[in-house]
A and B are shown apart, each in its own frame.
Chain A
Amino acid sequence: MFTAYLVEDDQKIREELSVLLERHAYRVRAPEQFEDVVSGILEAAPDVVLLDLNLPTVDGLVVCRELRKASEVPLIVVTSRDNDLDELMSMNLGADDFVTKPYSPQILLARIASVLKRCDKGRVSHRYSYQGIELEPATSMVSYGGKSVELTKNEMRILRMLLEHAEKVVLREDLQHELWQSDEFVDDNTLTVNVNRLRATLASIGVSGFLHTKRGMGYLLQEVHAVPS
């Protein structure tokens, strides 16, 4: 499990981002005082730092520079100041990525994951499981009852989404939206094809009766005997 350190002065964003990150299996540390951000980070020794440039007492760029003197921790600058100069300065001072507000939460998660991966920390990624179905997103491998098979990128994303919301209906438009965020601009028909292919792939390792179609809505991942008739 990775620890993310959140340096963000807006309370609402801090809270909600913490919830979001925790839901995606990060441990979150978020200080509410910004007098001594750098030593706070060093003490917490997180795996990744999210830093807002607009802080009440200290300039984010200064934090950036001070932090780099003492640590090589992956650092993502998140800011609403979207000028080139800030971006350039951040990168020069050693930030690993630069994300401007308002960001889409999915994009932010993807950026964090890719920075972690780049910094060679992403190898032990989060696994998803439900009733014996195990998905390892980093390798796109799904296993069940001792057998495993590799999924295509889209199949992996769909299954991950279904596992995240196991036993709840996942709407078609949400699946589509999720795929679009990774530049897979599938239309309605292609989504159906992808889901059917996923169903076939899962059947090849003995997973059957799990993936249910909810006509006009979306899909449901649930063990068959648990479905109320």
Chain B
Amino acid sequence: MSFTTYLRDKIALCLGLLAALALCALILHAFSVPIAAIVVVCSLGLIVFVAMLTWSYLMRRRFFKSLAQTLVCNCESTYVTELLERPGFAEGQLVYDALARATKLMNDRIASYQQVSEEYQEYVETWIHEIKTPISAARLVLANNEDERSRALERELERIESFVEQALYYARSATLEKDYAIRKVSLDTVIKGVVRKQSRSFIEQAITPHFEGLELSVYTDAKWLDFIIGQIVTNAIKYHAKDPAGGRIVSFSAELKEADFETQRVVLLIQDNGIGIPAIDVERVFEKGFTGQNGRKYSKSTGIGLYLCKKLCNKMLLPLSLASEAGRGTTVAIEFPLSKMHFLSS
């Protein structure tokens, strides 16, 4: 608050005072007080007034300046009153008290919602761990009773598991910080694990996996990578083409790019020769809830899988991209920077 703003605000007061002084001077003059005495009285009054005005301005300036500063430099503006001194003037105190009440209400609400969402998240996580027991039991029952029906059920279980896993990562994605650890991970182990897990679906659709260059290791969280690749593979299987030349293929290939130490990275490509994604949809595949033409035409999809992949990759600072041509297939690329500086600097 500049002094002129303050003066403009107090303009009525100043005009009133000047009028009062003028009236005073007139009355004194009427009582034939000497002009010099009138000037002295009026000047004294003016001086005192200006002094009072300046003092009150300084007090207000101090308060509003610190208020503005706290609001600017502190992003937790709901705690603004905790960081401010209660001012010594009436309007300031009113503002301060109102602010204090409003922010307290706000903070209480935030805390209660936070608690609700944390409890819900905890419940979802526990539920997911609980559901794994019956899924395991079901798998064992099927393994002990192999026939035509058990194979069909086994495939459905593979799908259920994939959805359960998606829910787990969705619940966790709200507070991703807490459970990932970047380690050296063998691409071969993770990728073959994913293919094994979804082998029934691969075989049912007669899709052949191809592997190339997977002896490379990358720095990432193994479980997250397992989930990400699992989601991408699920899509590749789901959106297979009817009769592509050379048979249905999902190929996994890794390559070391750029020998320069700083930018050295491993690029993992997951390629399929499925139905591909129409050009207008490609841009939006990582959006939450986006299903596009394929999602509508072929089978119902949630639009969550790739969104989560992107979110997890972003968290681990791994660039994830997707290219596709309708009718030709889809390629998903994940880049794994090798230099440790990449993680330190970001």
- Which A residues lie at the B interface, using CB under 8 A? 10, 12-13, 16-17, 19-20, 23, 80-84, 100-107, 171, 173-174, 176-177, 180-181, 183, 185, 187-188
Question: Given the complex, which residues of B lie within 8 Å of A19, measured CB to CB?
Answer: 140, 144
How many residues on the B side are at the interface (Cβ–Cβ under 8 A)?
Answer: 34
Question: Given the complex, which residues of A lie within 8 Å of B129, measured CB to CB?
Answer: 80-82
A103 to B: closest C-beta gap in Å: 6
User: When the two chains form their complex, are residues B140 and A105 in contact, meaning their CB atoms are under 8 A apart?
Assistant: yes
**Known contacts being A19-B144, A173-B151, A177-B203, is A101 close to B247, with CB within 8 Å?**
no
User: When the two chains form their complex, are residues B204 and A16 in contact, meaning their CB atoms are under 8 A apart?
Assistant: no
User: When the two chains form their complex, are residues B161 and A181 in contact, meaning their CB atoms are under 8 A apart?
Assistant: no
Alpha-carbon gap, A188 to B199, bound state (A): 13
Cβ 8 A contact of A10, one of B137, B146, B199: B137
Alpha-carbon gap, A107 to B189, bound state (A): 14
User: When the two chains form their complex, are residues B140 and A173 in contact, meaning their CB atoms are under 8 A apart?
Assistant: no
**Known contacts being A80-B133, A101-B132, A185-B208, is A13 close to B203, with CB within 8 Å?**
no
Closest residue of chain A to B247, judged by CB? A187
Q: Which 9 A-B pairs have the closest CB atoms?
A: A16-B140, A105-B143, A80-B132, A12-B137, A102-B135, A180-B199, A101-B132, A102-B136, A101-B136
* CB of B139 closer than 8 Å to a CB of A: yes
Q: Which of B192-212 contact A (CB under 8 A)?
A: 192, 195-197, 199-200, 202-204, 206, 208-209, 211
Question: Given the complex, which residues of A lie within 8 Å of B143, measured CB to CB?
Answer: 16, 20, 105-106
Chain B, interface SS category: helix
- Interface residues as binary, B146-184 with A (CB distance below 8 Å gives 1, 0 otherwise): 100001000001000100000000000000000101000
User: When the two chains form their complex, are residues B196 and A107 in contact, meaning their CB atoms are under 8 A apart?
Assistant: yes
B147 to A: closest C-beta gap in Å: 10
Alpha-carbon gap, A142 to B203, bound state (A): 29
Question: Given the complex, which residues of B lie within 8 Å of A174, measured CB to CB?
Answer: 146, 151
- Interface residues as binary, B8-50 with A (CB distance below 8 Å gives 1, 0 otherwise): 0000000000000000000000000000000000000000000
* CB of B315 closer than 8 Å to a CB of A: no
Alpha-carbon gap, A23 to B199, bound state (A): 23
Question: Given the complex, which residues of B lie within 8 Å of A100, measured CB to CB?
Answer: 132
B143 to A: closest C-beta gap in Å: 4
Cβ 8 A contact of A183, one of B137, B179, B192: B192
- Which B residues lie at the A interface, using CB under 8 A? 129-130, 132-137, 139-141, 143-144, 146, 151, 157, 161, 179, 181, 192, 195-197, 199-200, 202-204, 206, 208-209, 211, 223, 247
Cβ 8 A contact of A84, one of B135, B140, B181: B181
**Known contacts being A104-B196, A185-B195, is A23 close to B132, with CB within 8 Å?**
no
Question: Given the complex, which residues of A lie within 8 Å of B203, measured CB to CB?
Answer: 173, 176-177, 180
Further pairs besides A16-B140, A100-B132, A177-B203: 20, Cβ < 8 Å = A13-B133, A16-B137, A16-B143, A19-B140, A20-B143, A80-B132, A80-B136, A84-B179, A101-B135, A102-B135, A102-B136, A102-B157, A105-B140, A173-B204, A177-B200, A180-B195, A180-B196, A185-B192, A185-B195, A185-B208
**Which residue, of A80, A101, A104, A106, has the highest number of chain B Cβ atoms within 10 A?**
A104
B220 to A: closest C-beta gap in Å: 14
Closest residue of chain A to B128, judged by CB? A80
Alpha-carbon gap, A148 to B129, bound state (A): 49
Question: Given the complex, which residues of A lie within 8 Å of B134, measured CB to CB?
Answer: 12
